[in-house]
Amino acid sequence: MKRTNDSIRILFTEEQIKERVRELGEEISRFYKGRSPHLVCILRGAVIFLSDLVRNIDLPITIDFMAVSSYGGSDRSSGIVKITKDLDETIENKDVLIVEDIIDTGLTLKHLHQIFLARNPRDLKTCVLLDKKERRLTDVDLDFIGFEVPNEFIVGYGLDYGGFYRNLPFLGILNISELSGGE
């Protein structure tokens, strides 16, 4: 698989991301004013987003992590959600904010909402960096949205393809057909 000179078209620059994450932090700070939200980062893709987001939230917060898998090494979600790392802390009676990198079909988030609601949080909201509405298969509530994106394969700023590209400072559209030989 080709790793250099890949065809990546920039969708959002580092500066655009930084500005939107700052705005999201302000929105979240206003919404949770007087409260201490518990942010749950969905690993691995959302970790860079979370790192920048929390520095823009002007509130006392706590953080936990959950890892789920629904892609199984593919570039498409299987719709089957497997928890590979559960939360370390209880979310009972907490104001929980799920922090996710991208929502496409909505199946993973819907499953996560069911799991979290069964654990009795006081409140449950979702903050997502990227919303790929064109691929939605189920209704999901998104409370804080960074950007709406087209139905393309996006990498960078935490999002990967085969484990690579997470460290790109921008978000870009990866031409997967060039990686597989140009089908």
Annotated catalytic residues are 104
What SS3 class is residue 14? helix
22 — phi, psi (to 5°)? Answer: -60, -45
C-alpha closest to that of 134 among 98, 97, 103 = 103
How many other CB atoms are found less than 10 A from the CB of residue 34? Answer: 5
User: Whole-angstrom Cα distance, residue 131 to residue 136?
Assistant: 9
User: Whole-angstrom Cα distance, residue 32 to residue 47?
Assistant: 21
